[in-house]
Structure 1
Amino acid sequence: MKIFALETYIKYSYIVALAAIVISILAWVSELSGMVYVCPYCRVQRTVIGILGIILISPFSYHWIARFMSMVIGTFGVVVAANQHFMGWKKISAGTFQFNDNIVIDPFLLSGLALAGIIGLIYLILFSDKRQELD
């Protein structure tokens, strides 16, 4: 398995989708249990990641409606993640940036990961019809 080959992620997109769904569920559980603070940006990002995971794992992910919906929902998530991430860069420019005491829940790092993850999920959904060719 070539970890840096796009074909690997397309071929194993079901595993990627399951990982996205699990990440979304764990993030929601961490907020609902009070382990992390309530953040509207984070809520949108974790929800979008979960929805895109569900679309990717579904048998109709290759349909144009599913692709269109994933682009609409995903674009919303990307905009929210980019806005949150940019607020961190704004603080860096102002000289007031500081990582969260618990680096695992740092919003700057998590929004950057969410941004990359959402774009990756959208990409895999757009190329989900290639999955059958690689099996």
Structure 2
Amino acid sequence: MKETPAAEGNGASTTPMDKVADIGRDIGEYIRLQRNNAKISLRQLSKLAGVSNPYLSQIERGVRKPSAEILQQIAKGLRISAEALYVQAGLLDLPSGGPVPDAIRADTELSERQKQVLLDVYESFRRENRAARTSDTDTQPEE
């Protein structure tokens, strides 16, 4: 059996196809984690998302990389944001926001809905504080 050039040397493979395969595995693992957190069977998610059971199984195992449309259907079935799946699949960049939003998004113990609620609350506090600071500077007497 002949070794491919990407696998020569230290044994690490970094071809573009390997990266695509890694993304497929990552999104599949993420979907499985979200499905398990929601306590939904593969068959149930298949029905909710309108995706065949074998195809969904292949996605979770990293054999297939789903399209944006399929990700949207899966997100609907899981009741999570399609954006979360797009980010995980590498179709969108992770929104920036600093250490607190990043920590919330990275927490694997929270559901996507819980993450979104926390992010909404956090942003509402930040807006409130900005508004308070603005009104404080507007009402201070000039010297």
Structure possessing the higher relative contact order (Cα contacts under 8 Å, 6 or more residues apart)? 1
- Structure 2 length-normalised TM: 0.29
- Structure 1 length-normalised TM: 0.30
Structure 1 or 2, whichever has the larger Rg, is: 2
